[in-house]
Each structure stands twice: as C-alpha cells, then as structure tokens.
Chains A and B, each alone.
Chain A
Amino acid sequence: MALHREEMPIQPGIWRAGPVMTLALAGLALAGLLVTGLVGLQLDGLVLNLADLALVVVPLGLWWLAYYRPAQRTGKAVRYMPVLILASAVITNGLALPIIERIYRVDAWLVNAPGNTRIAGYTLIVGFLEAYLKFALIRYTVFPHAMRERGDAVAYGVAVSLGFAAVQSLRFFLDGGAAPLGPAVLRVAETYLSQIAFGAVLGYFFASARFARRAVPVWWFALALAVTALLNGLYTVFRAGIIVSGFGISGTANSPILGLAVATVLALGVFFVLTFLNGQAEARDAATPGMVIYR
C-alpha cells in the first residue's frame, strides 16, 4: 500500500546514501572478486563485453537505489540530476579526457616522475580540469536555485562525478579492450569511489556558499577547486604507491585490493568529515535563525 507523502519517513538524503553507496560498491566489488576467484569464472567474447558494460552501469543503479529513488518517493528529488549525470558524461568524453590524454599526455611523462612532481602534475592538470568542469556544470545550471538544503549541493557534486566515473570506466574498456572480470570490478569500483569523494567535497563548497549567512569571499570557488584538485592529486599518487605490496629483485608485486581499500577509506572519510561539518553548520543555523540567501 502506498504511503501518503505526509506518512513517509524523512528521506535520509546524501548523508546516509553516500556512505551506504560507498559500502555497497566496495562490498559488491569484493564479492565479485571472490566469486570470480573461487569459481574461476572465465568469460570471453560478447559475454565478457556485456559483463564489463554491466559493471559500469551497476554503480549508477546503486545511486538510483540508495539516493534518487528514496528522494523521489518522499518528493524531495533534486531536479535535473539525471540530466546532469548525462551532461557530465558527455563533457568528460568530449573535453576532459581528450585534454588530459591527447594534449597533456600525462601517461607519457608523469607516471614515472618523482612523487612530488606527480602530485603537482595530477593536481594541476587532472585535478583542476575535472574539478572546474564539474564546478561549471553545477554553477551554471542548478546553483543556487535548485539547492534546497545543504545535502542537495553534495548530491549534485556526487551526481556529476558519477558521469565522470562512468565515462572513465567505459573508456577503460573501449580503449584497452574487454578486461577480465576480477580486475575490471576493482578498476570500476575504485574509479567510482574516488570520483564520489571528489564530487562530495566540491559539492560541500557549493553548500557552504548557498547557505552562507553572509557573502562568501570571491575566491571561495577557486579554493573549492584547489582543495578538490589537491585531493585528486594526492589520491592518485598515494594509491599508486600503496598498491605496491611487495618488492623483489625481478620486479614489484601489486595488490589491487589495497587500491579498493584506499578508495573506500577515502570516500567514507570524506562523507564522515562532511557529515560532521554539516551537523555543525546546521546546529549553528538552528541557534541563529535568520534568512539564508546566496550572495
């Protein structure tokens, strides 16, 4: 029996949906890895292609289940979100990836550079470019009028990042060919989890600007881009270092599960910090009621 809107539970919003989605995604990736390892599942041909494609779609389904559908059911769905996901996917494929891969060609010179150089490179090129495109998508479409509460801004940040992650995962398969399920699961999960974290951070800056009681500084969004980009650069470099699990005379051994762990901890950590900050901000709002206007 369908509930009337007044009887429906309060929609938990992004503060719960974010961590839930993070854990679900990490759990599914681990389960997929376990199943393919234990059963020795070997797919090939069209079946493998379809399985890889399904991997790209599953996180979007999780987002719909964990955030969008409950929001719709309680009448609190944020507007234009599916369109924004699609738009971010188009921009990623048409602008972000060509600039990163063909103009800057970061894979050709940055991968083997010293650690500090890699952090600087990934921050300045990949981090800033991705952050600005996400910023522009939100800033020039839904900000500030479609954000009715702080969580909406974070949800928009996560949504545009899902579009980025979807295309990055898809391009991984299109450019490199179909990948075996085990590595593919990890790759897709890591991409989505890290992008969700970056998007949430950027979204929180929008939330702070939207619900500020006095005008935010003119450099506020530049700071947002810098923080998000730096997080991107640090994650990319530290993840690459952490997944190296063993050294030997003939080479190094990688542990991809550590990569998944890093991405999961990053996403959970970001939501933990943002939830705390949101709680503080809402407590301040409650203590000093007044008009909230974006200026």
Chain B
Amino acid sequence: MNRPSQPIPTPVPGGGRAYTTRERWTNWIALGATLLALFGGILLRDSVISESQFYEDPAAGISAMRPVGWLVDRGGDYVFRLRDPEARPFKTTLQVTVLTVGPDAEGRNALDMLTLRRAARLSGYRVLNVHDSVNTPRGPAPQMRYAFVASEPDPFLETLPAAVIGVDVVFFKSNQAIIATYQAGVDRFDAEYFRFEQFVASLRF
C-alpha cells in the first residue's frame, strides 16, 4: 500500500509521440460521451421547464395545462389565475378571465373594457400596442400588450417596484369573451413567453 510501486522497466511511450488510432478512438469516445450527456442535459432541462399538469375549472367549463409548481388562485375577478411562486420580484402570472359581451362585440371592445378596469387599478398602466389579429396556437385572435408597475402592498417588505409587461389574447364563445393573460417582470417576459404559448394552446372552453 505504502511501499514504492513497481519500477517501470522501459522508457514509457507516450511522451511527445503521436497518438495511435486506438488512443484517438479513446479520446473521441470520451468527448462523444460528454457531448451526449450535455445534450441529454438540454433535453432534461426542457422537459422539466415545460412540465405541466391538467387543470380544470368545472364551474366555468374551462381547462388548461398549468406549469408544475405554480399556485392556483380563484379568488378574484377572473376564472382562475396561475402564479409562479419563485419569480421575483413579480410573480409571473397566467390568467383566464371571462367577460360577457354582446353578439356583435369585437376583440377591441373586450380589450378596451380591460383597459378601463386596469387603468384605475394598476400603477403606471400603459397600453403598448393592440393588434386586431395575431397568430396564436389556437388560431388568429386580437391581442394587446401593456405595461404597468407592480408594487408590494406590504411596506415592511421594503421591495422596489417592478416593471411588468402583460399580454391579453381574446377568444370568443357565443356571448363570452375569454381572455388569456400573461404577465411577467420585464427581465423574465421573453424567457417565459413559451409558457403562455403552451397555456393558450392547451386552453379548452
């Protein structure tokens, strides 16, 4: 164990010489295994991030896939709201709201109603753009982008206000406007937009 190892009887090949074919294969296989593992890591990451569960609101007859670990809230003027508890400073939100509209209502009417509601309630609310028809995973639909400043209501938490970007997409079903909403902090908005696309694609009503 602690005795000297066997002396090497001959000069050891390898120092400064070219690799043999076998050695090259050994090196390449080690590199290949690593690249394969790292590729597997990417697949694993994507599957974990996009992992979702079925959620249904029987009263409203609306269902969707919700990201695993997100909290469900049904206590507001919406059908349900999903929030990422780990997002800071603003909890990334997916939300479904239902508005009753007339038979001739257009998407812009529903969006204007939302704007009126939010302008009175959200600090620094500003509509960024409105499109009458954009491509969504459920087909063409009116869309509105807006921004506002979210402040922590508890003054003892001493948090800075956060700039938030939101998106609404409107779908119609008889005399109902079903609005899917995505809100996220400016720094997370683009990175997590795929969740909104998955959410909209999974919406059933």
Inter-subunit contact A10/B2 (CB<8 Å): yes
Inter-subunit contact A125/B14 (CB<8 Å): no
Instruction: Report the stretch among B24-32, B55-63, B97-105, B173-181 that lies at the interface.
Output: B24-32
Inter-subunit contact A221/B34 (CB<8 Å): no
Mark interface residues in A79-101 (1 if CB within 8 Å of B CB, else 0). 00000000000000000000000
Nearest B residue to A215, CB-CB: B22
Q: How many residues of B contact A (CB 8 A)?
A: 37
Inter-subunit contact A294/B13 (CB<8 Å): yes
Beyond A225-B33, A275-B1, whether A145 also contacts B44 by CB under 8 A is no
Inter-subunit contact A124/B22 (CB<8 Å): no
Inter-subunit contact B33/A10 (CB<8 Å): no
Inter-subunit contact A282/B6 (CB<8 Å): yes
Q: How far is the CB of B52 from chain A (nearest CB, A)?
A: 14
Q: How many residues of A contact B (CB 8 A)?
A: 54
Give the contacting residue for A139; candidates B5, B12, B27; CB below 8 A.
B27
Main SS class of interface, B: helix
A residues near B30, Cβ cutoff 8 Å: 132, 135, 139, 221-222, 224-225
A115 at the interface (CB under 8 A from B): no
Can you offer 17 A-B residue contacts whose CB atoms are under 8 A?
A109-B45, A110-B48, A117-B44, A117-B48, A121-B41, A121-B44, A124-B40, A124-B41, A132-B34, A143-B14, A218-B25, A219-B29, A221-B26, A221-B30, A226-B33, A285-B5, A294-B14
Residue numbers of A with Cβ under 8 A of B are 10, 12-13, 15-16, 104, 109-110, 112-113, 117, 120-121, 123-125, 127-129, 131-132, 135, 139, 143-146, 148-151, 215-216, 218-222, 224-226, 229, 275, 278-279, 282, 285-286, 289, 291-295
With contacts A132-B30, A146-B15 known, what are 5 further pairs, Cβ within 8 A?
A13-B2, A109-B45, A123-B37, A129-B34, A145-B15
